[in-house]
Structures are given as C-alpha cells and as structure tokens.
Structure 1
Amino acid sequence: MHVARDGIEGPGPQVVVPLRSIDSDASAAVSELFVVHHRRLVGLAALLVDDRQVAEDVVQDAFAALHRHWRGLRDQNAVVTYLNRAVVNGSRDVLRRGLRGKRATLRLVPRSEELESAEQCVVAHEEADRMWGSVTSLPMRQRQVLVMRYYLEQSEVEIAETLGISRGSVKQHASRGLAALAQEWEEQS
C-alpha cells in the first residue's frame, strides 16, 4: 500500500503472480491470486458499493467464479483483468439490487502519525468524508472510472478493458465526474 498525492491510501503497483500452469490445480493458483489481490479488490468494491461487508462478498464471488472458470482461462495476464471486471460487475449488480448500506471503512486520509496535530487529523477526516460523499453521489459509470483511475491508478486503456467501453468513453466519464465533483465542492465552499 502507498499513499497517493491526495492522501488517499491506494493499492500500490499492480503485482502479477506467475500462475503455475493453466492445467495446474485451480485451488492452489486461485489461492495465490487471493493472497496478492484480495485486499486491493475489496478496496475497489468498497469504494463502488459504499459497504465494506458487501464488498467482501462481491470479491468472494469473483474468486469463486474464477475458480469455477479456471479451465477456460487461456492467458495468465488476463486473470487480473477478469477479477477486476468481475468485481466491478458484481458491485454494479449489488447497487442495482439496492444492497448497499453502511459506509466503507477504507482509509481515505493520511495516517494520524503523518499529521502534525490531532486537529489536522480531525480536519483531514472531515474533508475525506465530504469528498467521499461527493464521489458516492456520482452516476455509477463516472464513479467506477474515477475509482479505477485514482484508487487503482489504472490507465485509460486498462479501465476501458475492464469496463468494456472505449477509451474515449473513459475520458468522457472521468471528465464529467471531475467536473461534477468540482462544481459540488465549489457550491459547498
């Protein structure tokens, strides 16, 4: 994990786990992937569904689906994309069914030891809560694009591939989402 410029703790560089072999034991390979990617994927889902427990369920479902479809996989580089897509789609399904609830418990502010005073810590938490409220009010596609860009630090190409949309659509959703956030923050200030 690392903390990005804006104080949001992110997943750090993406790690690709070399898979034993496409014909290997699915349980062992999926277990390896789980160890490396679980935390990052739960963070992604929590930012999308706004509920840490539901996010855990979405990620468990994604890994279960990966295990079920293991023999159909042909490209080890596509496994991480498969998991990202499964989590994004699972999160979207949860929101469609209206199963989100309590706020995610992700850290969206610097660690308290990185701040100079308790007052700075309180202010940082208040600003993070305000920012998070703004992000959760965005339309789902804009929210997905912004979370994938700024939390997962994915490129436009990676986001487009995961969401199944064009690179131009990624740019458009990011631009509209950022504009909406800027307008909301300006109105609140």
Structure 2
Amino acid sequence: MGPVAADGIERAVEQTLSGLRRLDPVPPAPAPNAPLTLADLYRDHRVRLVRLAVLLVDDPATAEDVVQEAFAGLHRHWSGLRDEAAAVGYLRTAVVNGSRSVLRRRRTAREYVPPHQVNARSAESLAMLSAEHQAVVDALSTLPPRQREVLVLRYYGGLSEAEIADATGISRGTVKSTASRALDAVSHVLRPKGAP
C-alpha cells in the first residue's frame, strides 16, 4: 500500500470517527459550585462510552455490558476519587480495558479446541472391572476435582509428589495433604453402611 492510499485510509477513518463523535449529545455545562454526581456522569457520557465500546468490541450488547461495568467500578471507587473531573478519564480507561478483556476472552474461546471427549469408562472397561474396582471408580467420581486429580496422577499416572506438584501447580505439601484427604474421603464412601 503506497503513501497516498495510507493517507486516504487515515482520512476516511478520521472522517468516520469524527462524524460519529458529532452524533454524540453534547453534555451540558455543569452548574457552578454544584458537585458532580455519578448520575450526571451516566446521563452525560453513557452514549459516547457505549459508542466507544461498540467500536472496540463490535457488538452493542457487549458494549453496553462493558460500559455498565465501567460505571459500576467508578461507583465502587467514588469515595476515593481525588478529582471529579478525572471520573470521565477513569470511565474511558475502564471501557478500553473492559473491551480489551472481552476481546481476549473471545480470542481464547475461538482458539480453544476441546479435547476429543471419550467416555473413559466404556461398557467393555466396566464389564472388566470387578465390583470392588467399580466401587473405587465410583468413589473417585464423588471427590472434588483437585483431590481426584492428585489420586489419579499418583496411582494411575504413577507420578511422585514432586511431579504431581509440577503438573497441578500446587506445592508438594498440598499434594500430600490433598492425597490424604482424598483417601479419607474415598474410604468413607467405600465403608460399608453402619460401619464405624
């Protein structure tokens, strides 16, 4: 693309965006000595911020959500605001950051390819399990995910505590205590009814 074409694109973008800006309502001048309120900011700047977000995320409903989150954040921090005039800058930055987060989540969701989901316990594998083994597999399914991960990595994967810690991102001590709690929970599930 030559310099003329680039200049033409820049001019077209500038004209389009400045044209959109001219459509925004002009906020009224604040009354002298009147404190700025969140309601004033919402009334005066919401439309402009929604348009900004629509341009960033390309979806009106998501843009509305981003702007609402920005106003909610401002409300949470209103008492700590040093300068009421800085509130508009805060809102604009919050909308940009919120839009970035939306786009990151979209990109992550688009790039995610779910693993091939296989029923790990097919009819054949279930038939080959003895009643005792089936009870253990059923008991494992009642555990919280971390406990189940630790036991499966330890006994099915044959990993050491250090290897489990690396694989799960938890400390070795947590691996040890999690495994202990998981084994207690499994033994509780497997204990015959009425047994102490």
TM-score computed with the length of structure 1 as normaliser: 0.42
- Larger of the two Rg values belongs to structure: 2
Structure with the bigger RCO (C-alpha within 8 Å, sep 6+) is 1
TM-score computed with the length of structure 2 as normaliser: 0.41
